[in-house]
Structure 1
């Protein structure tokens, strides 16, 4: 992942207290969802809507319950404590709380099987002694403990029998071979195959995906790892494509394929500009789908470099264009990485932080994702639209037979003729329209 994004993620890692070794857990709330195409949702991070002021938590629950978006949660870190601080000693209290909250909002829960307890990575075992440093958390299990991690995955699946969607690991964390200057895709694939087998044994309806690789790219000034997957936005790192190709060939099986990444380069360049860079998301999606033949998930996607200084209006506009780029690439599921904080302006947040008494109300980013999820579910057929504007690059449009998303990518108003109607769009405006010929 780009260094800027990785730095942002480290701020979201959870620190937990002493272990609670309770067993058992909440039961299922309804029928299993065994569709690998879930649509548009978000990932819970360290601070989320399950804790804080009671009234704020209730408001957020009401907001999320209106549509029931798919929601992703890791088993360790990003709001969840160490699930197995010592071999055979379990603490699922945090994960129980998160999964229960997702159920309470009528969302489809998804579990990312990352990260691993210390003792699986060569660290110390024991309740209350988890090393939450970034380096420790992002270490991969040792090969001798792949079987133990697979067993933990199976136990998680058994604990939450209504959860059917599982992502194996996160961004190849700990699987980089420094001596070889490449990803240890053999090691990851060994871990993946053991987890895949354990989950399928735990429940034939469990859906499993990987490899959750970061599709890093470089600008034209850096050709060291250039590949044939390129465009005006840059070139995807060949080492990443090699890792994907190996996993795709040697995996035991998969129900969906998972990637993540940013539309900007590893040095934070948005090429040729912030909106044009989103075309990378379409190109990568096409490349992966053509080679895997599986439903495609983006576990994370980023369109804004760190310290961009963007207004929320510009941020939402760029996000809208990025989501449209993913949709054009045939993506069946995508999770927005929720940057919730305890307070402050919280740029890009989905709801006002529930740690505040006035929290829980929806913000513009949530409104965008919820509307997009309803208008453009998986399998939507997109249609061409006639667009005329003073600046041909000014307006981006995504349209189905019924709904149309229109985005002004300029920092000034623009007049446009779209689908036979005249519009005046404010700077960075995101507007939803119903097609005039849609059937009602």
Structure 2
């Protein structure tokens, strides 16, 4: 097709496809506009029971939903291909309250009108593919921080800031409003990766990064938990709440940048040394949480750089991430699962790997053997669920990458299950290893 004829055809195609798939690519309604509650047709609220399953977390782009609601909708055939793939895995499908594809602030102001358009669009995708929805209660609308601008209610500049304590209850009220709107959603995770809680504020305004602010996170978690638990007791006995979604940074340097794990099984191993600050944060939460129905955690097989590559005294061995081999990667997840089971002791909380990664190089790509090895280790060591981050293929562009001491470091390239559907095709298998077959091995019992 010539460039001239393509310019003529594209507007017509967009109009036709918009008529066919209007809800997929529709712009969000204005906040406060009348919006009929979505009834969850197609969604499952079945409990996760026994065994181990791998679900997905929808991120910036996922089968026509995501960051740009005004983009032309995908071609119907591409959309159908991607949806068939999504229907064959899980069934757990996770989405965020705000951020990671949900870019319409669900509430304009702490007590303002609601805008459900972004959440509804993604929920329709989950239900259309027979998913069991999970909602991660993250991240921060600007009104929950000290940067609110009523003229820019969808501003994401401070998305990863921790909510202010004065807005903990407002955030908890929003969580209950979400649970009411989607009465078929059983699972809620409170926050994501301890964002905004990685240091303790000092009186002079500086931050002490030698410890994470587990007390502040736990106070926030407990406020949200008590609000949802109150709603559960009055109307939703099946609702389940989990936290703290804590990540486990791991260092190739046995000194772990000054914070090596105190537990021998997590220190000085061939796969690295876990950061004690993460373990301390988890210990604090377990000792002070108001309740929980599952334990949410996060890790990857790679190790952190020991120092910034711009530091004058940083050696080559410290400047970039390390990538343990297949056996070491599996051993790391097995060791972490065993450690977590020991911590939980009598509580018997199911372990959810809310994120997991198995990169073999700086592009964040993996291999079939490496990826399967990590999942096998989780399953064998008693984990209940794992959520694959961003299952839609987004190739690395040159602008996504930078050189780190001769090693390519990229922001994308993660394993995926389907290619991005668009006007011209897509929705099929991505290049590289067949991760879909691996993930389907760990599909929940009621999937085909």
Q: TM-score, normalised by structure 1?
A: 0.75
- Structure 2 equivalent of residue 301 of structure 1: 356
- Structure 2 equivalent of residue 222 of structure 1: 255
- Work out the CA distance in 1 between the residues paired with 2:186 and 2:382: 22
- Structure 2 equivalent of residue 100 of structure 1: 124
Matched, 1:351 2:418: yes
| Deviation at residue 355 of structure 1 after TM alignment | 2.3
Alignment of 1:44-193 (within 5 A): 44-51=58-65, 52-55=73-76, 56-67=78-89, 69-81=91-103, 82-86=105-109, 87-126=111-150, 128-133=152-157, 136-177=158-199, 178-179=207-208, 181-193=210-222
| Deviation at residue 276 of structure 1 after TM alignment | 1.7
Which is worse superposed, 136-145 or 288-297?
A: 288-297
| Contact 2:44/2:130 (<8 A) preserved | no
* 1:26 partner SS: coil
- Work out the CA distance in 1 between the residues paired with 2:181 and 2:367: 38
| Contact 2:254/2:273 (<8 A) preserved | no
| Deviation at residue 161 of structure 1 after TM alignment | 0.3
- Work out the CA distance in 2 between the residues paired with 1:251 and 1:66: 36
Aligned length: 355
| Contact 2:142/2:156 (<8 A) preserved | no
- Structure 1 equivalent of residue 438 of structure 2: 368
- Structure 1 equivalent of residue 277 of structure 2: 239
Unpaired runs of 5+ residues, structure 2, are 1-26, 66-72, 200-206, 306-320, 398-412
| Deviation at residue 46 of structure 1 after TM alignment | 0.5
- Work out the CA distance in 1 between the residues paired with 2:393 and 2:374: 23
- Structure 1 equivalent of residue 378 of structure 2: 326
The one of 241, 246, 255 equivalent to 1:208 is 241
| Contact 1:36/1:256 (<8 A) preserved | no
| Deviation at residue 190 of structure 1 after TM alignment | 0.7
- Work out the CA distance in 2 between the residues paired with 1:162 and 1:53: 27
- Residues 65/193 of structure 1: CA separation in 2 closer, same or farther (3 Å cut): same
Matched, 1:198 2:266: no
| Deviation at residue 182 of structure 1 after TM alignment | 1.0
User: What is the CA deviation profile of residues 246-291 of structure 1, one whole-angstrom value per residue up to 9, with x for unaligned ones?
Assistant: 10011111000000011111122124x3442331111111111221
| Contact 1:172/1:212 (<8 A) preserved | yes
| Contact 2:179/2:185 (<8 A) preserved | yes
- Residues 264/131 of structure 1: CA separation in 2 closer, same or farther (3 Å cut): same
User: What is the CA deviation profile of residues 287-344 of structure 1, one whole-angstrom value per residue up to 9, with x for unaligned ones?
Assistant: 112212310000000110562486xxx6222111111111122110100112535667
Matched, 1:33 2:46: yes
| Deviation at residue 201 of structure 1 after TM alignment | 1.8
User: What is the CA deviation profile of residues 137-180 of structure 1, one whole-angstrom value per residue up to 9, with x for unaligned ones?
Assistant: 10010001000000000001111000010000001100122325
User: What is the CA deviation profile of residues 13-72 of structure 1, one whole-angstrom value per residue up to 9, with x for unaligned ones?
Assistant: xxx978543444201336632446672111101110144413211221122224552110
| Deviation at residue 371 of structure 1 after TM alignment | 2.5
- Work out the CA distance in 2 between the residues paired with 1:132 and 1:31: 31
| Contact 2:29/2:115 (<8 A) preserved | no
- Structure 2 equivalent of residue 21 of structure 1: 32
Q: Higher helix fraction: Structure 1 or Structure 2?
A: 2
* 1:212 partner SS: strand
- Residues 59/308 of structure 1: CA separation in 2 closer, same or farther (3 Å cut): closer
* 1:210 partner SS: strand
| Contact 1:69/1:370 (<8 A) preserved | no
